Chain A
Amino acid sequence: MAQIGYSKKVLEHFMNPRNVGTIENPDGYGKVGNPVCGDLMEMFISVKDDIITDIKFRTFGCGSAIATSSMVTELTKGMHIDEAMEITRDAVADELEGLPPRKMHCSNLAASALHEAIKDYKRKEED
């Protein structure tokens, strides 16, 4: 099983990803492509009083890309946006009980997609 060397937590998130889908008229939207292997991830957030009240994602990528996006949504749902901006790829990987070294960039992707969504929200707020 699982020749790739993923932790149980990664496999569990891959098999049962949380918060899959889209949000219509999201308060923030982020989309990032993976420069390393060419994958794609998008995040949608609803924000109230600077708290992330809802978050959804869609990912085209490997098992680790799907698991890390799922984990990011789980970690940051209900979180203040300033705190969510601080989420790093290492934090996501730690929550998943680690990632194989060559899969760390997928974790980066998930964190960046979230940060892009928050920046988008802030931009809209300023307008």
Chain B
Amino acid sequence: MPTPSLTFRGEPMRMIYLDHAAAMPINPGVLEFAKRYLQSDFGNPSSLYSAGLEAKRIIEDARKKIAELINAENETCIVFTSGATESNNLAIKGTALRNIGKGKKVVASAIEHISVLNPMKELQKSGFELTIIPVDSTGIVDIEELDDSLTKDTTVTSIMYANNEIGTIEPIKEISEIVHEKGLYLHVDATAAAGRLPVDVQNDGIDLLTLSSNDMYGPQGAGALYIKPGVRLQSILPGGGQERGLRSGTENVFAIAGMGEAARIAKDEMAQESKRLRGIRDGLISEILKVEESYLTGHPTQRLPHHASFRFSRIEGESILLNMDMKYNVQVSTGSACTSRMLEPSHVLIAIGLKHEEAHGSMVLTLGRSNEVEEIPIITKAIKETVQRLRELTPL
């Protein structure tokens, strides 16, 4: 079927991309900055000749920029990895295994990313005790349950800064106080939050923090883990001893340089850009909630500024996504079972108490730099018409 030719103000309608939680286009400024480090004749950062020294210098420069973004004590607190998944694995397994003498309990919230939950489950299989903390219907971690679950044997507690499926921001400071009163270390996955919220590891009381390059408009293939001075963990990737021995392997100089520059830009532009996106986001939420039997998922106010998520009764998310794409050139996401590899609904939507058929009708919009306020009426029209068409098809 040919691409439908839609027009907007006489121009062919361009794609409206609303799935920044899945993948973000690299910032052209970041690419410009980092592209010279793609050259294959560039030195290995471990080499001593001048090209190697230049590679080493740019990595240290990136480390500094990232430390500044999250107000780390100093740049040596930052370890580069291949991405958020590896950072989460290093934080959880590396810390739990290194501190096994202090206890064998680990804790995570029910809405953590799968790259937090799976290493936790792996630890459980090897004899650790795992406790999953429930969340309320808005996605906020149950503080009392957390308080009750922590003991002095709990070495790693992992709670995300904000959730990328429902947008909810967790009360990290409050959580940090409880964790430090009762357990040992708090790991926070800030993949969705960094560059959008003023994450401050010292003020928030965070011991380990996961960052992703691509989620800040940096290149894919780099991530970082912040490790507070004094926190002890062991490598899960032994080898040549790069990154203070915590993460062996020749550094991905291009991606790291780009991640550093992305962090610098994020720090400079965050306040303004978050405000701009929040404006578009609020416009979308108020328009979309006019659709009959539509509901916001996640927290109404404690929410990422670029994030709007909904569910619509009696229709299914993959068909929403498909119709929005085919007919309106608008790219959205869903937590419906029909789109998942295992044909199971998103664990986040189940954790906030949705029934399977309710989780089916979920739709997630994540905004980014390319989105403009003028798009609000186009997006809302597309959603209204999509919901209406699919409801005409439904037996419910």
Interface positions of A (Cβ within 8 A of B): 1-4, 6, 8, 11-12, 14-15, 17, 20, 31, 36-42, 58-66, 102, 105
Q: Which of B293-328 contact A (CB under 8 A)?
A: 314-316, 318-319, 322-323, 325-327
Q: A37 CA to B356 CA in the complex, in Å?
A: 9
Flag the segment in B25-33, B79-87, B333-341 that touches A.
B333-341
Knowing A38-B337, A38-B357, A60-B315, the reply to whether A4 touches B395 (Cβ < 8 A) is no
Residues in chain B near residue A15, CB distance under 8 A: 1, 323, 326-327
B residues apposed to A, CB below 8 Å: 1, 3, 314-316, 318-319, 322-323, 325-327, 336-339, 341, 343-344, 356-357, 360, 392-396
Contact B343 A36 (CB under 8 A): yes
Report Cα–Cα, A4/B326, bound state, in Å: 12
Instruction: Knowing A37-B343, A102-B341, say if A62 contacts B319 (CB, 8 Å).
Output: yes
| Contact residues in A for B322 (Cβ distance below 8 Å) | 2, 4, 6, 11, 14, 63
Contact A66 B393 (CB under 8 A): yes
Beyond A1-B326, A61-B316, A62-B338, is A38–B356 a contact (Cβ under 8 Å)?
yes
A60 CB contact (under 8 Å) in B326, B327, B339, B394: B394
Chain A residues with CB under 8 Å of B393's CB are 17, 20, 58-60, 66
From B326, B338, B343, residue with most partner A Cβ within 10 Å: B338
User: Closest 6 A-B residue pairs measured CB to CB?
Assistant: A62-B338, A58-B395, A62-B318, A37-B337, A63-B322, A37-B343
Q: Which chain A residues border B315 with CB–CB below 8 Å? A: 60
Q: Which residues of B contact A2 (CB under 8 A)?
A: 322, 325-326
The B interface is mostly helix, strand or loop, or mixed, namely helix
In the docked arrangement, what's the CA distance between A62 and B344, Å?
13
Cβ-neighbour of B396 out of A3, A12, A60, A102 (below 8 A): A60
User: Closest CB of chain B to A25's CB: distance in Å?
Assistant: 17
- A3, A4, A12, A39: the one within 8 Å of B316 (CB): A39
Partner of A1, one of B3, B318, B319, B336: B3
CB atoms of A61 and B319 under 8 A apart? yes
Q: A1-B325, A4-B318, A63-B319 are in contact. List 18 more A-B contacts (CB 8 A).
A: A2-B322, A8-B1, A14-B322, A15-B1, A17-B393, A36-B343, A37-B343, A38-B337, A38-B357, A39-B316, A58-B395, A59-B395, A62-B319, A62-B336, A62-B339, A65-B338, A66-B319, A102-B341
Contact A11 B394 (CB under 8 A): no
The answer to whether B394 and A62 touch across the interface, beta carbons within 8 angstroms, is: no
Of chain A, the residue at the smallest CB distance from B392 is A20
Q: How far is the CA of A58 from the CA of B357 in the complex (A)?
A: 16
Which of A1, A37, A41 lies at the interface centre, i.e. has the most chain B CB atoms within 10 A of its CB?
A37
- The chain A residue with its CB closest to the CB of B315 is A60
Please determine whether A42 and B395 come into contact, CB atoms closer than 8 angstroms. Answer: yes
The docked-state distance in angstroms from the alpha carbon of A100 to that of B275 is 41
Which residues of A lie under 8 Å from residue B314 when comparing CB positions? 60
Q: Which of A12, A17, A65, A102 contacts B1 (CB 8 A)?
A: A12
A12 to B1, CA, bound (A): 6
If the complex has contacts A1-B326, A15-B326, are A38 and B360 also in contact, measured as CB distance less than 8 A?
yes
| A8 neighbours in B (Cβ, 8 Å) | 1
Contacts of B392 in A (CB 8 A): 20
Instruction: Determine whether the beta carbon of A61 is less than 8 Å from that of B338.
Output: yes
Minimum distance in angstroms from A37 CB to a CB of chain B: 4
CA distance A8 to B327 in the complex (A): 14
Give the residues in chain A near B395, CB-CB below 8 Å.
Answer: 31, 40-42, 58-60
What are 29 A-B contacts defined by CB distance under 8 Å? A1-B325, A2-B322, A2-B325, A4-B339, A6-B322, A11-B1, A11-B326, A15-B1, A15-B323, A20-B393, A31-B395, A37-B343, A38-B337, A38-B356, A39-B338, A40-B395, A41-B395, A58-B394, A59-B394, A60-B315, A60-B394, A61-B338, A62-B316, A62-B318, A62-B319, A62-B339, A63-B322, A65-B319, A105-B343
